[in-house]
């Protein structure tokens, strides 16, 4: 009963990292790390011997004063730390409440089911300005209107485009993704990099290989680099991920200036407090991560429970950890097609509004990648398909809710659709795209998902001819 009570206290104090005491070996899969060897697990952060000995929970139990003789765990504290990780024990013993986002599921479902005020959507839309952004009720009203009124979609998209122009003018922020590793411990059913996929070649760039990739894309003109990695055991060695960020920071800072501040964006696994501190100190500018879906049941259906990413709560509060570590720019997103898109859009907006209220900064970017088939994955079609018009509406709703945030477009979509999304609220996009480590210096056919990649020089010229002003970019002829 004492163990059950203490674990319930920990869970109630905030989400926990359930896998922080496990060690992955290629030939053995997941297994528990032996006590005393926690430093084998990257990011474990503490040895059990360093725990506070005066904690009220530090009391010997079981035969010979050992709670779990087979593992050598002598106290309740050590047993809970072993199961749930050192950060969880700190929360239980300190009694300090930490701000954490909770998905308002019932409120969102009630808003989507509400039938009242459906005819008032035009009045609500006209009232949305940069100083008076759309709230959850407004967004839900517009979603409901677009289900039944054929005039609603065009009006919403047009209004969002006006707001975007008012804030950003003709500017379009360009970025380029650079993959570090595609080795992964997770088994996401929609991703080609899932651990059991034997069809996918695996690679983690060395630091020299990574430097060449960054030099290649800066030579192409890009000054915003999104570093992408799977949940790789290799990169969780203390300090290793930070070294890649330092390299990107160094190369960008030494490249000819484009007139806009260069940026390093990290998109990785859901980092711990210690990992956030390390990448912050290495010079990261922003942290982006897609929740995939805010619907717990839909999330569980595509993330097997025995791997780290199965921990919904650890992932959904990752931005609390990032912003508490001092990383003020964060990018939220969902993978459209995994859960119901209407619910997910409202949940993401609720999440962004929470971060704005709690930390004083709206999201830096809002992402909306759409499910695409990938090599060697178990599911071929999206569980909840999303049409082009629904994607256009989602972009517009993001813009109406967060007028000053970037709406993040990507090359999962055809260029013709990307141009429509730019008109209706999008403001940040990539053009060239290699979703395999080393893909710019050594192009290959392997990829994380089906996507497009457009020639940089021709696409930049096309955008300029359409009246856009690409930013964070310096043409190779000007370097």
Helix (H), strand (E), coil (C) string for 262-289: CEEEEECCCCCHHHHHHHHHHCCCEEEE
**Residue pointed to by tokens 């659709």:** 417
Name the domain boundary from 78, 94, 110.
94
Name the domain boundary from 39, 59, 94.
94
pLDDT of residue 24: 34
pLDDT digits (tens, 9 = 90+) for 294-341: 999 999 999 999 899 999 999 999 999 999 999 999 999 999 999 999
pLDDT digits (tens, 9 = 90+) for 268-288: 999 999 999 999 999 999 999
Decide if 77 is inside a domain: yes
Q: Is the dihedral of CA 112, 399, 153, 162 positive or negative?
A: positive
Range with lowest mean pLDDT among 4-18, 36-50, 116-130, 149-163 = 36-50
**With a threshold of 0.95, does the pTM exceed it?**
no
pLDDT digits (tens, 9 = 90+) for 188-225: 999 999 999 988 889 999 999 999 999 999 999 999 99
Does the pLDDT value for residue 264 go beyond 80? yes
Q: What is the mean pLDDT of the chain?
A: 81
Decide if 308 is inside a domain: yes
- The backbone torsions φ and ψ at residue 22, rounded to the nearest 5 degrees and listed phi first, read -115, 155
Name the domain boundary from 44, 66, 94.
94
Decide if 359 is inside a domain: yes
Q: Is the dihedral of CA 112, 116, 118, 123 positive or negative?
A: negative
* Boundaries of domain holding 21: 2-94
Same domain, yes or no, for 76 and 210?
no
Distance between CA 286 and CA 363 in Å, rounded? 10
Indicate the pLDDT class of residue 373, thresholds 50, 70 and 90.
Answer: confident
Distance between CA 191 and CA 188 in Å, rounded? 6
Decide if 118 is inside a domain: no
Same domain, yes or no, for 243 and 338?
yes
Distance between CA 178 and CA 296 in Å, rounded? 30
Decide if 314 is inside a domain: yes
Decide if 140 is inside a domain: no
With a pLDDT cut of 90, the percent of the chain lying above it is 67
> Could you tell me which residues are beta bridge partners of residue 337?
none
Hey, what are 437's tokens?
């480590």
Does the pLDDT value for residue 252 go beyond 70? yes
Domain count, the chain: 2
**Strands 406-409 and 365-367, how do they pair?**
parallel
Same domain, yes or no, for 280 and 409?
yes
């Amino acid at each position: 009963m004492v163990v059950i009570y203490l674990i319930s206290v920990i869970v109630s104090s905030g989400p926990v990292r359930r896998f922080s005491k496990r060690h992955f070996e290629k030939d053995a899969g997941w297994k528990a790390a032996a006590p005393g060897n926690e430093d084998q697990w990257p990011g474990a952060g503490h040895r059990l011997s360093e725990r506070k000995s005066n904690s009220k929970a530090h009391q010997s139990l079981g035969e010979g004063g050992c709670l779990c003789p087979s593992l050598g765990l002598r106290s309740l504290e050590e047993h809970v730390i072993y199961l749930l990780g050192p950060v969880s024990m700190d929360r239980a013993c300190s009694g300090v409440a930490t701000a954490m986002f909770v998905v308002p599921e019932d409120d969102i479902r009630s808003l989507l089911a509400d039938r009242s005020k459906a005819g008032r959507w035009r009045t609500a839309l006209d009232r949305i300005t940069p100083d008076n952004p759309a709230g959850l009720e407004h967004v839900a009203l517009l979603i409901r209107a677009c289900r039944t009124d054929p005039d609603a979609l065009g009006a919403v998209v047009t209004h969002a485009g006006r707001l975007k122009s008012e804030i950003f003018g003709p500017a379009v922020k360009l970025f380029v993704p650079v993959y570090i590793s595609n080795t992964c411990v997770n088994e996401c059913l929609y991703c080609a990099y899932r651990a059991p996929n034997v069809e996918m070649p695996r690679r983690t760039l060395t630091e020299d290989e990574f430097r060449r990739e960054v030099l290649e894309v800066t030579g192409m003109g890009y000054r915003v680099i999104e570093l992408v990695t799977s949940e790789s055991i290799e990169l969780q060695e203390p300090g290793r991920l930070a070294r890649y960020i330092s390299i990107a920071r160094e190369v960008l800072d030494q490249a000819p200036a484009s007139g806009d501040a260069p940026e390093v964006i990290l998109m990785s696994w859901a980092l711990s407090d210690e990992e956030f501190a390390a990448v912050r100190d290495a010079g990261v500018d922003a942290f982006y991560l897609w929740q995939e879906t805010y619907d717990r049941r839909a999330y569980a259906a595509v993330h097997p429970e025995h791997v780290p990413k199965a921990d919904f709560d650890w992932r959904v509060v990752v931005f609390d950890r990032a912003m508490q570590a001092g990383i003020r720019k964060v990018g939220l997103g969902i993978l459209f097609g995994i859960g119901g898109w209407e619910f997910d859009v409202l949940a993401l907006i609720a999440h962004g509004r929470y971060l704005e209220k709690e930390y004083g900064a709206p999201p830096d970017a809002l992402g909306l990648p759409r499910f695409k088939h990938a090599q060697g994955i178990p599911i071929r079609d999206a569980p909840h398909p999303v049409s082009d018009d629904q994607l256009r509406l989602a972009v517009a709703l993001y813009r109406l809710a967060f007028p000053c945030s970037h709406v993040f477009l990507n090359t999962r979509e055809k260029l013709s659709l990307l141009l429509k999304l730019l008109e209706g609220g999008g403001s940040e996009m990539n053009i060239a795209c290699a979703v395999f480590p080393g893909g710019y210096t050594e192009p290959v056919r392997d990829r994380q998902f089906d996507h497009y990649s457009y020639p940089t020089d021709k696409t930049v010229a096309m955008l300029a001819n359409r009246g856009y002003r690409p930013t964070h970019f310096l043409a190779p002829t000007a370097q």
